[in-house]
Amino acid sequence: MEARLTELSIAARVTAVEEEVQAFLRSLDTLKKSTTLAQRNHERKKLYKTEEFIRLDIEDELLKLHEVPPTAPDAPVPSDELSQCKDPVVVGYATRLNALRALLTLEIQPSSHTILEKVYMFVRAATFALVMFGGFFVVCFLVPLRWIHLILRQFDVPNYYLPMDWIQTTFGLALCVASGIQISTNDRVNLTMETTKNDPTVVMFTHGSNLDGLMIQGTSPTSLKFIGKKALFMLPIVGWGFRWGFGNIPIDRSNREASKRSLKVLAKAVLEYGRSVAISPEGSRSKTGQLQDFKKGPFYLQSDVNKSITPAIVHGAFELWPPGRIFTLSGKAHVDYLPQFHVDPHKSRNANRLALRRVYLTALAKPVPADLSTAPDTPHVLMHVWSIMCLWVVIPGAVAAICGAISRLSTILGVSTTSGTAQLVASVMLGLETFMHFTC
């Protein structure tokens, strides 16, 4: 192993990137006077790509050793995971590379803490909550629309034009609007039905913020089914709409076998209904804003469905809403849809996983708009304010209409008092949440 790493000039490359990172850090004070946050983070991503390519070269060599047939039946199989390797030389390189990772954490957009910003954030957060809970409340009562999908499919109506799919896309956009995010996209054509030839694809998106999935949901030119953490589905009303209304799939990250079952359910949606699906190969949100190691689960999913992968790169969202920030700042974000990645059938699943990671790192290191993560343009702010006003009219109106219908239904059922209606609603909600608990 040591000889092979010497051939790859790992020692010299690690030393070189360490010097580049230190030089960048020393120049930060000067750069802050002449560059934007997006430009500085772009430099971090370029350095991160260089560091991660060294890591991937080491992991490629570990994978080759892992895939060599054992010389004896009881011979130990070396791990293909860099974090589990016991070779002291490899451990030394891993320690140095991990230190570089920590130094290249992305810079986040600071809050101005002005009264105007605080008021604007409160309005946006309240609208976001309105769409999340009020919107999903409405979606729960639209679940029967999914039954119409069975009929429409008989007439070859594409998934994107099915009622609940259109509503899901609109819902994602509404949440982005409520967040105050100005979204730009690039190469959406890579995900259109014409490009995919109506063949489902597995969309794998980078994940550094709570905004990522919403941005993909709202800007994707084709309907997607998402897989999300179980805790989200356990929220009353929100989880019901997310699962039964939109048909998304919960995953229990703490239980490997349960996770595999969730991926099988998602694979069924691809194979039986021709659904394109969306999942983050990183699993959880990145705490540094940089691309994390890829989990193996999404690649088992791809193997089960044998479909292409469409990488989706989200820029700028981490800077606006990093983990730990209560709510997002208003600003510009960008989604880049890359050409489809076709798995090499002659390579192992893990080899394809490492190859795809190189694609992501290369895309992330490309130049981005200099004003990324800055305040939205004035026309967008005006449109956003108008949209918020519309949401505060439409959603409460729809909720009030549904509550009126529930009240009339209670009267028909002989429940005439307010407390009786409340007990009926509470009983139904308890039943639904119990059902969700045992089936999630």
The answer to whether residue 33 sits within a structural domain is yes
Torsion of CA 123, 143, 236, 385, to 10 degrees: 0
Range of the domain at 280: 115-381
Total domains present in the chain? 3
**181 and 221 together in one domain:** yes
Question: What are 311's strand-pairing partners?
Answer: 204
Cβ atoms 247, 277 nearer than 8 A: no
- 364: three-class secondary structure by DSSP: helix
Closest C-alpha among 317, 366, 28, 3 to residue 179: 317
Residues 6+ apart with CB under 8 A from 354: 56, 59, 60, 63
The answer to whether residue 48 sits within a structural domain is yes
**415 and 359 together in one domain:** no
The answer to whether residue 158 sits within a structural domain is yes
pLDDT at residue number 433: 86
Question: How many helices (DSSP H) and strands (DSSP E) are in the chain?
Answer: 19, 7
- 318: amino acid identity, one letter: F
pLDDT at residue number 74: 64
Cβ atoms 321, 209 nearer than 8 A: yes
pLDDT at residue number 45: 98
**98 and 136 together in one domain:** no
Cβ atoms 175, 280 nearer than 8 A: no
The pair of structure tokens assigned to 302 is: 């791809």
Q: Alpha helix (H) ranges present in 229-296?
A: 230-233, 238-240, 256-273
Distance CA 64, CA 140 (A): 50
Last residue of a domain, one of 103, 132, 149: 103
Closest C-alpha among 266, 272, 223 to residue 248: 266
The answer to whether residue 62 sits within a structural domain is yes
**323 and 188 together in one domain:** yes
Backbone angles phi, psi at 183, to 5 degrees: -100, 130
Q: What is the DSSP letter of 415?
A: -
pLDDT at residue number 73: 64
**263 and 333 together in one domain:** yes
**98 and 155 together in one domain:** no
Distance CA 55, CA 49 (A): 10
Closest C-alpha among 155, 211, 207, 156 to residue 182: 211
Residues 6+ apart with CB under 8 A from 440: 230, 233, 234, 239, 243, 250, 252
**377 and 399 together in one domain:** no
Distance CA 425, CA 431 (A): 10
Cβ atoms 367, 41 nearer than 8 A: no
pLDDT at residue number 157: 86
Last residue of a domain, one of 358, 381, 404: 381
Residues 6+ apart with CB under 8 A from 276: 159, 191, 196, 200, 201, 202, 203, 222, 223, 224, 225, 270, 310
**267 and 130 together in one domain:** yes
**376 and 396 together in one domain:** no
Closest C-alpha among 84, 128, 35, 18 to residue 387: 128
- Residue 422 CA to its chain's centroid (Å): 37
Q: What is the pLDDT of residues 19-67, one digit of tens each?
A: 999 999 999 999 999 999 999 999 999 999 999 999 999 999 988 888 7
User: What is the residue-level pLDDT of the chain in tens, covering all 440 positions?
Assistant: 778 888 999 999 999 999 999 999 999 999 999 999 999 999 999 999 999 999 999 999 988 888 776 665 665 666 778 888 888 888 999 999 999 999 999 999 999 889 999 999 999 999 999 999 999 999 999 999 988 998 998 888 888 889 999 999 999 999 999 999 999 999 999 988 777 767 889 999 999 999 999 999 999 998 898 988 888 888 889 999 999 999 888 887 777 777 777 778 778 878 788 888 899 999 889 999 999 999 988 888 888 888 899 999 999 999 999 999 999 999 999 999 999 999 998 888 899 999 999 999 999 999 999 999 999 999 999 999 999 999 999 999 999 999 888 888 888 877 767 777 788 788 888 898 888 888 77
DSSP string, 137-153: HHHHTTTTHHHHHHHHH
The answer to whether residue 386 sits within a structural domain is no
Q: Is the dihedral of CA 252, 353, 87, 76 positive or negative?
A: positive
**99 and 125 together in one domain:** no
Last residue of a domain, one of 75, 103, 131: 103
**131 and 244 together in one domain:** yes
- SS3 for 40-104 is HHHHHHHHHHHHHHHHHHHHHHHHHHHHCCCCCCCCCCCCCCHHHCCCHHHHHHHHHHHHHHHHC
The answer to whether residue 167 sits within a structural domain is yes
Cβ atoms 357, 204 nearer than 8 A: no
As to burial, measured by CB atoms within 10 angstroms (0-12 exposed, 13-18 middle, 19+ buried), residue 402 is: middle
Q: Is the pTM of this model over 0.75?
A: yes
**55 and 176 together in one domain:** no
- Tokens 């941005």 locate to 215
Torsion of CA 300, 146, 242, 296, to 10 degrees: 0
The answer to whether residue 273 sits within a structural domain is yes
Tell me the CATH number at 366.
3.40.1130
pLDDT at residue number 194: 76
Q: Is the dihedral of CA 301, 172, 274, 341 positive or negative?
A: negative
The answer to whether residue 108 sits within a structural domain is no
